[in-house]
Amino acid sequence: MGRLSFYDEIARNKRSSILLAFSVSLILFALVYVFVSLLAPGLVIISLPISILLIALYIYGSYMYGDSVVLASVNARPAEGREYQYLRDTVEGLSIAAGIPPPRVYIIDSDEMNAFATGRDPEHASIAVTTGLMRELNRLELEGVIGHEISHIRNRDILFMTLVAVMVGLAAILSHIILRSFRYGGIRRRRGEREREGGIESLIILVGLVLAILAPIVTRLVQFAISRRREFLADASSAELTRYPEGLASALEKIMKKNRGRMEVSEAISHLFFVDPNRSPLDNLYATHPPIEERIRRLRAM
């Protein structure tokens, strides 16, 4: 049963990634169109092929370098030297058990306990772990957390989740720019210059406004929808790899007691993390992650 479900998961993740890239392309294309029509209506026809090219480049860049962007945005550094030998061994051991090549290992300097995996496939994957996690967890607990991240890699969750992170990041920036230009009146002034197109322009402004408001909500919904099933499945697969669900359960318990949710990472990548990096585990409102109590309960029931 276990194997079957993770093959399904791989297929599902590939499908979702393609669908995501496609819908993000469409949204971006619509945003560019609205933007150009507002600011320079004469350039619309020229802008179309250029924007298609740029969007294609953007999708390609997100696919190839999304993991580097994510790792750089949290200041992760390679786990080198003897003090991390034990961490590298644990990662390598669990990757052997999962039948994937050993991923690269990174360290994030933070007292909070957290971890994440990123990359596009098991051959190009990385795991990052906070110094707080290294310090607080014992061997069995650390194995549980690493097993969870290794499962994300094996199930190809990392591809979809990294694409969401990088693409959501851009959607957030774009809509932010549009909203700001309204706030500073830049568009209103231009509208004054072209009174006769007023009717169409207000429509376009309206569409732009709707998109700008919609973009973060849509991406938020995507984040919301993707996390829970994946997290529960990764917890279960971790237990299957380590043969010891209690290790992960006990790690989650420690995190619930000690984490304050103050890592202050970009909201666009928070769904990659093992537990929500920006919110205390006690704060269930607006959670992108499944409640920790529920995860512990399911692990203990195994």
**Nearest approach, Cβ of 243 to other proteins (angstroms)?**
5
Q: Is the dihedral of CA 186, 187, 190, 191 positive or negative?
A: negative
**Nearest approach, Cβ of 7 to other proteins (angstroms)?**
11
Structure tokens at 199: 């009717």
Between 99 and 192, CB nearer to other proteins = 99
**Nearest approach, Cβ of 268 to other proteins (angstroms)?**
30
165 binds other proteins (CB under 8 A): no
One-letter amino acid of 248: L
Strand partners, 119: 125
**Nearest approach, Cβ of 300 to other proteins (angstroms)?**
12
233 binds other proteins (CB under 8 A): yes
Of 141, 129, 146, 168, which Cα lies nearest the Cα of 28? 168
Between 93 and 291, CB nearer to other proteins = 93
**Nearest approach, Cβ of 221 to other proteins (angstroms)?**
25
Looking from the CA of 279 toward its CB, the CA atoms found within 13 Å total 17
Rule CB under 8 A: choose which of 42, 45, 49, 82 binds other proteins: 82
Is residue 83 flagged as an active site residue?
no
Rule CB under 8 A: choose which of 38, 94, 234, 275 binds other proteins: 94
Residues 109-138: x where in contact with other proteins by CB under 8 A, - otherwise, as a string = ------------------------------
Between 212 and 241, CB nearer to other proteins = 241
Between 94 and 164, CB nearer to other proteins = 94
Rule CB under 8 A: choose which of 86, 123, 176, 257 binds other proteins: 86
Q: Is the dihedral of CA 105, 163, 234, 281 positive or negative?
A: positive
85 binds other proteins (CB under 8 A): yes
Dihedrals phi, psi of 274, to nearest 5 degrees = -60, -45
84 binds other proteins (CB under 8 A): no
**Nearest approach, Cβ of 51 to other proteins (angstroms)?**
43
Between 2 and 78, CB nearer to other proteins = 2
206 binds other proteins (CB under 8 A): no
CB 103 within 8 A of CB 91: yes
Q: 104-108 and 124-130: which strand pairing? A: parallel
Residues 235-254: x where in contact with other proteins by CB under 8 A, - otherwise, as a string = -x--xxx-xxx---------
| Binding residues for other proteins, total number by CB under 8 A | 25
Structure tokens at 14: 């590939």
What residues are annotated to the active site? 149
- The contact set with other proteins (CB under 8 A) reads 1-3, 5, 82, 85-86, 89-90, 92-94, 96-99, 233, 236, 239-241, 243-245, 302
